[in-house]
Chain A
Amino acid sequence: QQQVKQSPQSLIVQKGGISIINCAYENTAFDYFPWYQQFPGKGPALLIAIRPDVSEKKEGRFTISFNKSAKQFSLHIMDSQPGDSATYFCAAGDRGSTLGRLYFGRGTQLTVWP
């Protein structure tokens, strides 16, 4: 059973446009929601993360929106650039658990055309 569902699987955006990736979860114990960015040949790297006590977190052009009641969260990339072309993974975890385990979505391959 997939703990975190991510969509779309792939996304093509024009340079300067907004990229939006959505994720949904079922486990209400989850209280930590990171996004990872992965370039070809490299491991995933933490991009931005949010806790459920806030509805939005912004870091530069990257924003996480969080809807606790709907159990959904999304990544918005404003003014998308060709350098943002990568695979993005959402994840969820329970910080109260001593196992530190994260559950990942299946990833979104983003292509930004110049």
Chain B
Amino acid sequence: DAGITQSPRHKVTETGTPVTLRCHQTENHRYMYWYRQDPGHGLRLIHYSYGVKDTDKGEVSDGYSVSRSKTEDFLLTLESATSSQTSVYFCAISDVYSNQPQHFGDGTRLSIL
């Protein structure tokens, strides 16, 4: 299995609080992605990164920010969490230039009350 660790695995928090999710990889892949998974919506891309300090928005980026200061870490931040952000969040990595597929972590289940 690809070396991807997401933390925390579960989190419950209150509306209006800041939340940061972490994705750590040991594969030295250049590309990293954050998705959210909701029933009936499948996997939707929030943000992605194509290198250290290089990030871009996906299709559902409102209310989220990301940072990547090191190749191995990609952080997703909810500045002020809302109940609509209750979801399961997945990180994925890819080595695009060697045509490797995306590999996913096991997710973070986030509940915002």
| Residues of chain A whose beta carbon lies under 8 Å from any beta carbon of chain B | 6, 9, 34, 36, 41-46, 49, 89, 95, 98-102, 104-107
Contact = CB atoms under 8 A, between A and B. Distances in A.
Contacts of A101: 33, 45, 48, 58
B60 to A, nearest CB: 12
A45 B99 contact: no
Interface in B4-38: 4, 31, 33
Contacts of B31: 99-100
A80 B23 CA distance: 34
Main secondary structure of the interface of A (DSSP, over half): loop
Interface of B: 4, 31, 33, 40-45, 48, 50, 56, 58, 90, 92, 94, 96, 99, 101-107
Contacts of B102: 34, 46, 100, 102
Residue from A6, A41, A44, A102 with most neighbouring chain B CB atoms (10 Å): A44
Contact of B94 (A89, A100, A104): A100
B42 A43 contact: no
24 contacts: A34-B101, A41-B106, A41-B107, A42-B107, A43-B4, A43-B90, A43-B92, A43-B104, A43-B106, A45-B103, A45-B104, A46-B103, A89-B43, A98-B50, A99-B31, A99-B96, A100-B94, A100-B102, A101-B45, A101-B58, A102-B102, A104-B43, A106-B41, A107-B42
